[in-house]
Structure 1
Amino acid sequence: MRIFARNLLTEHGFRPNQILTVEGGVLRRIAAGRDSEADHIFDLVLPGFINTHSHAFQWAFAGQAEYRTRPDDSFWSWRQAMYEAANGMSAEQLGRLARQLYARMLEAGYSWVAEFHYVHHQEDTTPYSDPAHIGHILIEAAQSVGIGICLLPVLYQYSGFGRQAPLPEQRRFISDDGLYGEILGSLRARWQGQPGVVIGMAPHSLRAVDVERLPQQLEAWHQPGMPIHIHIAEQPLEVEACVQHYGHRPVALLSQHCPIDETWTLVHATHLDASEMASIVRAGAIVSLCPTTEANLGDGVFQLSEYDQLGGHWSIGSDSHVCLNPAEELRWLEYGQRLRSNRRCVYASEQQPNVAVRLVLEAIRSGRQSLGLPTALWPSDHLCDFVAFDGMDWRKDTRPEQALSQWLFSGRPVQPAAVFANGLWRVWEGKHIERPHLDNEWQRLC
């Protein structure tokens, strides 16, 4: 199969009139060519977007917690609604919900998702006979609609710093070391090496694990190249509690105890000081930013300009799924920095003055690193992922960089025309190829 891209986004910007040759779902080569030589023709072709932070179950109540329950409503009061959603859902309901969610991610242009999975146990909080039962269901949901998935089974053991006992509403998430090892072992035995699947691991947060034991736990379970994700420094109260208990801020504390490197992704990292920021950059780790969720929860605004000046890398995630649009995440990211700095085009650079191009390139490249995928945007001899746009209402003299900017910043409801993920067409004419069946399932789920 030969795909003609009038404009193809590469590491060095857009290239005109390129043909992607795909054989058996695998990208074999990219070369200049003519549209007459191709099987399919698109105006604008980008690598697939990577969603580096997802809690599938939270989509069940996205947008339903937008009323004030107390004068100081915050992340911590929202968390109670989250617990209710997590504890009121069966494994089968979660699987059906995830299937719908992942299909919509594909329609938005995401080709891979990192699922930060901590709803491990039955509704009565006892483990399943296979303690990875729900993890398997989530991977099956992703496979059934065609999105690549990095499943991150979460280690969740405490309710707060100093090994505080879990709250009753957290019991469905809790695993001791033995049970967590069984979860990882079951997932690896079934899925490791399967196309479109990566198995990582995720200490939930420094609140939920014992940082002094974490190095030994990682040594027991981690494998070379395996992604490690952790929530960290999302809320000021979390930072204050960490300093009060340990005398150190969260990222500084983590760096003292664990050998952070390029396999790590620090989720949110909203509240950092300069030394913590520098330590992340030195380690080569990724920060997963979730701008629409962070705005929804009132978390704060990440210090992107300062982080960028140090050479830091970041990715995007939809997290609680109040938004499933990568363009929206990137727009909010840039606009947050404009509001902080009273400047425009904050993420532009001398090397890449177009903000949209630089945002998209960084989100995809670092997103791939976060999931343990090849970081090249177009890795040859791998299953191919791309997002294609057509009919974007361009003027004849519109450059591709301007078209990408329009998609990112104009708010026009432009959906990808097609998405090719993990070697197969998944979205065509803006709709998932199983959309009628998915719609019928959705009616039954609702």
Structure 2
Amino acid sequence: MQVIFARRARTPDGWKQNVRITCKGGVISTIEPDSTAQADDTRVDTLLPSLANLHSHSFQRAMAGMTEFRAAGKDSFWTWRDLMYRFVEHISPEQYQAIAALTFMEMQEAGYASVGEFHYVHNQHGGQHYDNQAELSEQVFAAACQTGIGLTHLPVLYSYGGADKAELNGGQMRFGNSVETYATLVESIRKSAEQTLPVDTCVGIAPHSLRATCPEDLAQVLHLAQDKPIHIHIAEQPKEVSDIQAWLGARPVEWLLANTPVSDQWCLIHATHMTGAETQNMARSGAIAGLCPITEANLGDGPFNGVAFLANDGAFGVGSDSNVCISLSEELRTLEYSQRLRDLGRNVIIPGEGSVGDVLYLGAATGGAKALNRNAGRIETGALADLVAIDSTSPALCALREDQLLDGLCFAANGTVVTDLWSAGRHQVQSGHHINRDQIVTSYKAAMSDLLASI
């Protein structure tokens, strides 16, 4: 059992003062406002429900800064993808673990208590399976154990190199599985997770995209989800939209909604290029929009239809995707700023009047938890103790009223305001730093030295 005493805490009923929270078995058991701190309590300034990072490819963290040189011709998502494929061919299992551990640690220091790891690197160089088919997933598990982050693992079905069943080639060979080998992989991963990871761990499924699978295969694998999350990349790029339309006779989101049982079990990643009707229908389906604004800006994807989606009561969360920059506050403000740049206005994503920071932060907390199948995203008895503490006396926040703190966190602050973080009650960030930071950073630097020497 552990007890947290917060000068203030944001609950579903609003701000509460002098709040004493007891956690047992990773779950919030009591919440006592207007209390007095006891000697052994962990004291913090301002306590918030922590966000879930709902979409990550952790290995891409090792590429950050390597793809920002303009070569001859026009750079795009597709030229970036070619560089990523060449990079991923060289990563060893041990290096994968070190990279994932650093990525997860940085997420926690930024304020994320959990992660949806959209994991598609399964095979050896050239496409041969490891003797243990779940080898690389187990490296992710080891990184999750080292960091204590809450993990929703999403093994990816990636069968084709592009729309209309194009063959896999190059770096894609490390991703490939048939429906049959994928089913075996998911079963193996779930057994391993049950044996090695905390009870708050979840293993869902992730058909990579319509272009990397096909309608028949997609229909066959959906039962593997059971009652766990289903995540899929969708409509990220105009070329993807046109390729799918030419092949399947409908735009990606249009086709998915018409041909699969999309519900709140689903998380549609990006969904950047949608018509008004698609936006409305996706919101009404209950599916979570998995938005990755920093990556979507970095890759030149374009802005999500956020204003229309929220106006139709759509649910959303945020993720760091390529992990080029892991910053919770920057992810949220980039989402709003993308809408402002498109619409030439201010404070535009919020339906009606009120605090934009509240809508962004609390909306992402609720939607992200739902997308990862975590009973979290709120400070409430019975919920997982996914909690983050920030310092309201920091220069970025000290001039703000209590009702402005989430606006300040989203638009004026950075990760340095995070003082503490709990992932299902595991107190992994203390005084602004992860408790295993030194070991994780040392291992990462050694892994990167070896990796770069092999490329």
User: What TM-score, normalized to structure 2?
Assistant: 0.93
Q: Report 1:94-173 matches (<5 A).
A: 94-173=96-175
Aligned mates of 1:208, 1:110 — CA distance in 2: 29
Q: Distance in 2 between matches of 1:395 and 1:373?
A: 29
Q: Which residue of 1 aligns with 2:256?
A: 254
Aligned partner of 1:202 in structure 2 is 206
Aligned CA RMSD, in angstroms, stands at 1.9
Partner of 2:215: 211
From the superposition, tell whether residues 342 and 26 of structure 1 become closer, same or farther in structure 2 (CA, over 3 Å).
same
CA distance in 1, matches of 2:415, 2:314: 31
Letter aligned with residue 69 of structure 1:
A
**Deviations for 1:181-224, whole angstroms, at most 9, x for unmatched residues?**
111010112224842311010000000101233112213x2202
What are the residue-to-residue correspondences of 1:313-392 with 2, within 5 Å? 313-350=315-352, 353-374=354-375, 377-390=378-391, 391-392=393-394
2:5 aligned residue? 4
Q: Cα 1:282–1:402, aligned 2, differ >3 Å: closer, same or farther?
A: closer
Match of 2:225 among 209, 222, 226: 222
The residue type paired with residue 365 of structure 2 is: I
Pick the aligned partner of 2:436 from 421, 428, 434.
Answer: 434
How far does residue 387 in structure 1 lie from its aligned partner after superposition?
Answer: 0.5
Work out the CA distance in 2 between the residues paired with 1:376 and 1:61: 30
Distance 1:296 1:395 in 2: 28
Equivalent-residue separation in structure 2 for 1:367 and 1:145 (angstroms): 20
Contact 2:10-2:49 at 8 Å conserved across structures: yes
Of stretches 385-394 and 355-364 in structure 1, the one that deviates more from structure 2 is: 385-394
Shift of 1:36: 3.2
- The amino acid that maps onto 1:367 is G
Greater CA drift, 49-58 or 121-130: 121-130
Letter of the 1:21 partner, please give it.
Answer: T
Q: 2:21 matched to which residue of 1?
A: 20
Pairing 1:284-323 to 2, within 5 Å after superposition: 284-323=286-325
2 CA distance for matches of 1:370 and 1:359? 16
CA offsets 1:264-288 (integer angstroms, 9 cap, x no match): 0000000001221122122210010
Matched residues in 2 for 1:249 and 1:395: separation? Answer: 44
1:96-151 CA-partner distances (Å, limit 9, x unpaired): 11111111111111110001111101124210122111111101211211001111
Check if 1:268 corresponds to 2:275: no
Q: Residues of 2 paired with 1:170 and 1:91: CA distance?
A: 17
Aligned-partner Cα distance in 1 for 2:367–2:87: 31
How many residues get paired? 443
1:22-61 counterparts in 2 under 5 A?
A: 22-37=23-38, 39-61=41-63
Q: Distance in 2 between matches of 1:19 and 1:64?
A: 46
In structure 2, the partner of 1:191 is 193
2:70 is matched with which residue?
68
Q: 1:366 to 1:407 in 2, by over 3 A?
A: same
Report the counterpart of residue 174 of structure 1 in structure 2: 176
Residues 1:188 and 1:396: Cα distance change in structure 2 (over 3 Å):
closer
Do the aligned partners of residues 365 and 440 (structure 1) sit closer, same or farther apart at CA in structure 2, a change above 3 Å counting? same
Q: 1:89 to 1:17 in 2, by over 3 A?
A: same
Shift of 1:427: 0.7
Which segments of 5 or more consecutive residues in structure 2 lack a partner in the other structure? 449-455
Change (3 A) 1:428 1:276: same
SS at match of 1:36: coil
**CA–CA separation in structure 2 for the residues paired with 1:10 and 1:25:** 18
Residue 74 of structure 1 contacts residue 298 of structure 1 at CA under 8 Å; is this kept in 2?
A: yes
Residue 410 of structure 1 is matched in structure 2 by: 412
The question of whether the paired residues in 1 share the 8 Å contact of 2:328 and 2:415 is answered with no
**For 1:388 and 1:90, how far apart are their aligned partners in 2?**
36
- For residue 417 of structure 1, give the secondary structure of its aligned residue in structure 2: strand
Q: Which runs of 5+ in 1 are unaligned?
A: none
Q: 1:134 to 1:412 in 2, by over 3 A?
A: closer
Task: Give the aligned residue type for 2:175.
Answer: F
The one-letter amino acid of 1:20's match is I
Letter in 2 for 1:16: Q
* Matched residue type, 1:50: A
What is the distance in 2 between the residues matched to 1:66 and 1:378? 40
The structure-2 alpha-carbon separation of the partners of 1:315 and 1:396, relative to structure 1 and needing over 3 Å to count, comes to closer
Q: What secondary structure is seen at the aligned counterpart in 1 of 2:69? A: coil
Q: Distance in 2 between matches of 1:319 and 1:45?
A: 26
Change (3 A) 1:194 1:443: closer
Residues in 2 aligned to 1:62 and 1:13: alpha-carbon distance in whole angstroms: 38
Contact 2:85 2:172 in 1 (8 A): yes
Paired residue for 1:235? 237
Query: Structure 1 322/49 Cα, relative in aligned 2: closer, same or farther at 3 Å?
Result: same
TM-score scaled by length of structure 1: 0.95
CA distance in 1, matches of 2:239, 2:180: 31
The one-character-per-residue Cα deviations of 1:337-380 (angstroms, maximum 9, x if unpaired) are 11112221113344x61111111000110000001112561353
In structure 2, the residue matched to 1:444 is 446
Assess if the C-alpha contact under 8 Å between 1:90 and 1:123 holds in 2.
no
Following the alignment from structure 1 to structure 2, what is the Cα–Cα distance between the partners of residues 311 and 326? 23
Report the Cα offset of residue 244 of structure 1.
1.5
The amino acid that maps onto 1:44 is T
